[in-house]
Amino acid sequence: MNRLFIAALVALLSVPAVAVAQEASIAGTVTDSTGSVLPGVTVEATSPVLIEKSRAVVTDGSGRYRIVNLPPGSYVVRFVLPGFATVERPGIQLSGSFAATVNGELSVGSLEDTITVTGASPIIDTQNVTQQRVMNREVLDLIPVGRTAHDVGILLPFSRHQESEADEIGLFLMAKAGYDPRQSIEFWKRMEQTKDGAPPEFLSTHPSDETRIKRIEGWMPEALRMYEAQAR
């Protein structure tokens, strides 16, 4: 009976894992040659693997953008804004749930001018921090009574994702309000030192302190730009 239960649990957990694995994304920040963020930039991802062949978004007030639910394949990312030369970044390789960070820097020019930026495709996912675990008997025993495979495979990851989004928004609001965003990293380091015997992250509604710190470090360059801008 125990073996059948474990097999069924693993099978159920594999369903959301497969679904999420097909949702890659491209995100980043667009600036001008002086480093100032550029809102209103059209960012277009094109690829033969897309049914519609291309997908476009516009950067927000902080110059940030995010293109989600992209199938695996090779992409070209274009940055377009009137008054600036168009920038193309070819050869962006996506696979699984990889979140590629592709930043753009635009220089003054006409839309007809196209600058092609070559370089290796991003290989480090700074957007997502993913851990794979083998669910042995000891780990299964840690699952609280009443917690189902649906909870572990869907509800808990969703809760952790929502909390990470709240962390990101809070960090940027902190910077815009004039508080040094670097203090947030020190805060979570202190929190990490005070905890003892915390459950594995995949059984928690919250990201681990280590995961929070890594994500905050990834958001820090943008947060520091906001912090320095309000100090001028």
pLDDT tens per residue, range 101-132:
999 999 887 656 667 665 555 544 445 544 44
Residue 133 confidence (pLDDT): 46
pTM flag (> 0.75) = no
Residue 142 confidence (pLDDT): 53
> Considering only CA atoms, which of 55, 222, 226 is closest in space to residue 127?
222
Q: Is 175 exposed, middle or buried (0-12, 13-18, 19+ CB in 10 A)?
A: buried
Residue 21 confidence (pLDDT): 40
Residue 114 confidence (pLDDT): 64
Stretches where the chain sits below pLDDT 50 are 1-21, 123-126, 129-135, 140, 145-146
